[in-house]
Chains A and B, each alone.
Chain A
Amino acid sequence: MTTPSSVRRLVETREILLCCGPGGVGKTTIAASLAMLAATTTPGRVLVLTIDPAKRLAQALGLEGIGNDVVRIDDETLAAAGAVPRGELHCAMLDMKRSWDDLIRRHAPDAPTARRILSNPLYQNITGRFVQSHDYIAMERLHELHATGEWDLIVVDTPPTRNALDFLDAPARMEEFFSSRLLRWLILPARGGLLGIAARPFTQIADRILGTQFLEDITEFFLSLQSMYGGFVERARAVSRLLSDERTSFVVVATPEPTPLREADFFLRELRSRRYEIGALVLNRALPSSLSAPATESAAEALAADAEGIAKVAARALDLDIEAAARVLRTAAASAREWSVVARREAAARERMASAAPLVVTVPSLDGEVGDLEGILALSGVIGSAA
């Protein structure tokens, strides 16, 4: 498939959109806006899967306390926010713990094994840390939702990770982990009562560092887990395939500031090297373009130079105190000069990124924070109208 020329085409033609990027750039909000755009411009059933939304956003989407369930934002609620839905908008949140428990139950060969794993004291700790479990479970859940065939489009807000790309490698790492020789080394002695020759150096050092009891605890745990090997590996491969499917596209989100852009740039390169489709780069919360206009700086300078003169006219026209008007105008001019520096820096950064993705969309920061359906709708309008 060729890359769509607008975000509207993107939400029309793809079945999965993964929003990714550095932390703190508004990924969740952009994901929600993409879903809103799809629900208001296409007749399909749209789902937005978020990981950890801000409280107000969760409230706006009706996600508070719903765990792993999918909730629909009904047409009345959408209409009250000013939206004219063509399709259906649904939301879901990822409940990490429940998703893991479900996964274990699904893949365990029998109920006693599932119970043994779920009640293992290590399990709690492990589900929080186990081979980038957050990343894996998000992709696993996406696969599960997609496989139901219930959705025309699923927009995913990817988990915030230390390395923003971990979730891409998570399925492969999960497979690698379960196929690893180390796992077999560790499990072999427990099974046959024999210490494999290959495992000896490892067990000796590990024994000195960690102690025998602890190693036995771990071994016992992995022994139970290994019974799920086949199911896990097969599933991890299916998840990997889904990410590179031609119906899947990535939307990289960043703000036009140096650090997030550097991360986004890295991200784009990695996506490209893995041959995933990059649908768009969204530069969120950009300053209004008027701030970087050359005229703004000279206007601010002119205002600063003749604040008294301009204030006199304004004060007379509006019945204001001349001193106060002059003070206000001087402050506004100084502020404009400061912000125009930031805005020009942003504009330069945007120019640098102009060809970093087939589609680069700049989203100006709206007045205030986006935390309700109206805000998401406004944002979807901005994203949808960008060429």
Chain B
Amino acid sequence: MTSLLERRLLFVTGKGGVGKTTIAAGLAWLLATRGKRVLACEVDAKGDLAAAFELGDVGFDPVEVPGGPWVMSMDTEASLREYLRLQLRIPVIGRIGPLASAFDFVAAAAPGVREILTVGKLCYEVRERRYDAIVVDAAATGHVLGHLTAPQAINDLVKVGLIRSQTTWMLDILNDAATTGVVVVATPEEMPVAETIELVDAIRSTTRVDVAGVVVNRTLPELFGVRDEATFASIAAARPGVLDESRFDGVFDAARHATVRRRIAAEHVTTLRAALPGDLPLVLQPYLFTRAEGRRATRQVATALAGELS
């Protein structure tokens, strides 16, 4: 199995709120620091990926992070324009206007039309080899299958035409496990774990795209061993000596909070591990106690991922 870091196209997905953008940014940064030319692409245009690199507004044209990846934001209209110019040799100047709304309309009806413009652009970049690796901050759990299955859906629905002829090479790229992989991000909580199990199952049963790994974000280290936990419990119950002063309330609350969270999280990780195929890498990404966003945090995520992945 090709290691996650050797693939050229990585789709990073997961339930909303689990930090998939953080992980995508960390992966992109990690690959870039290993000397690769990396493109990081945000699919849902919320601007979170640009924020992870402190870039401000980023559009369809990639912006370089010094020492890091190139960052772009997917725009299906721009992708359509590029496609028309490069493939059909129809130059489109300015906004596409009516054509874009026409496309919106067809896209509303035809499954996969909008998605294929996203996946098509990503596959195109893989084929052009201007980047060594492309990390996609992909759509959330509910929508990512739409992207991964778009070429096949179009292939099944559209029998002739230019789009049809374009899907074959895309499928070759997407279905090649040495090239493409999906990274599913979860947190050690009930819903994200349940969705991750469902998604991995759905990807494996409805597509031929390879799942490269699962990252469990925000995992907590074990605070106490079993015996120390008992020791802590008896101290916390009695609070002898100075410990009964109210200024220590926060200290005991923090330790209890950390222990309870850790225990619940560990149960969810166990559930996840048991449900996933044995050969699928499961990466535990620690909870970051320092800054929560920006380049500093992205670097720290990259460092932690490097430790887990190599």
The residues of A with any CB-CB pair to B shorter than 8 Å are 22-25, 54-56, 122, 125-126, 128-131, 160, 162-163, 177, 180, 182-183, 186, 201-202, 205-214, 217-218, 221-222, 257-260, 262-263, 287-288, 290-293, 295-296, 298-300, 303, 310, 313-314, 317-318, 320-321, 324-325, 327-329, 331-333, 335-336, 338-342, 345, 365, 367-369, 371
Contacts and interface: CB of A to CB of B under 8 A. Distances in A.
Interface in B85-102: 88, 90, 98-99, 101-102
Contact of B223 (A177, A288, A335): A335
A258 B235 contact: no
Classify the interface of chain A: helix, strand, loop or mixed.
helix
A205 B292 CA distance: 47
Interface residues of B, number: 76
B126 to A, nearest CB: 22
A202 B109 contact: no
Contact of B158 (A54, A205, A211, A259): A211
B234 A24 contact: no
A295 B247 contact: yes
| Residue among B17, B255, B289 with max Cβ neighbours from chain A (10 Å) | B17
Contacts of A303: 248, 251
Contacts of B110: 122, 210, 214, 218
Classify the interface of chain B: helix, strand, loop or mixed.
helix
A305 to B, nearest CB: 12
Contacts of B264: 368-369
Nearest to A287: B257
Given A214-B159, A299-B247, A318-B238, A371 B101 contact: no
A222 B109 contact: yes
A152 B111 CA distance: 40
Interface stretch (B176-184, B202-210, B224-232, B302-310): B224-232
6 contacts: A23-B15, A214-B161, A259-B21, A290-B250, A314-B240, A339-B254
B186 to A, nearest CB: 11
Given A24-B17, A218-B110, A211 B253 contact: no
Nearest to A134: B142
Given A205-B99, A328-B232, 15 more contacts: A24-B17, A55-B190, A130-B109, A162-B46, A162-B139, A180-B101, A182-B101, A213-B160, A218-B109, A291-B257, A298-B247, A299-B245, A300-B250, A331-B224, A341-B289
Interface of B: 15-19, 21, 44, 46, 48, 51, 88, 90, 98-99, 101-102, 105-106, 108-111, 113, 139-140, 142-143, 146, 153, 157-164, 187, 189-192, 194, 223-224, 227-228, 231-232, 234-235, 238, 240-243, 245-258, 260, 264, 289-290, 292-293
B191 A54 contact: yes
A26 to B, nearest CB: 9
A369 B249 CA distance: 22
The 10 A-B residue pairs with the shortest CB-CB distance in the complex, in nearest-first order: A24-B17, A23-B16, A296-B250, A211-B161, A313-B241, A317-B240, A336-B254, A125-B111, A290-B250, A295-B247
A307 to B, nearest CB: 11
B235 A314 contact: yes
Nearest to A198: B98
B145 to A, nearest CB: 10
A258 B51 CA distance: 11
Contact of A313 (B146, B242, B245): B242
A210 B143 CA distance: 23
Given A131-B108, A186-B105, A324 B231 contact: yes
Contacts of A202: 98-99, 102
Contacts of B242: 310, 313
B194 A129 contact: no
B158 A210 contact: yes
A310 B243 contact: yes
B250 A295 contact: yes
Nearest to A366: B260
Nearest to A25: B17
Contact of A22 (B16, B157, B223, B293): B16
A162 B76 CA distance: 15
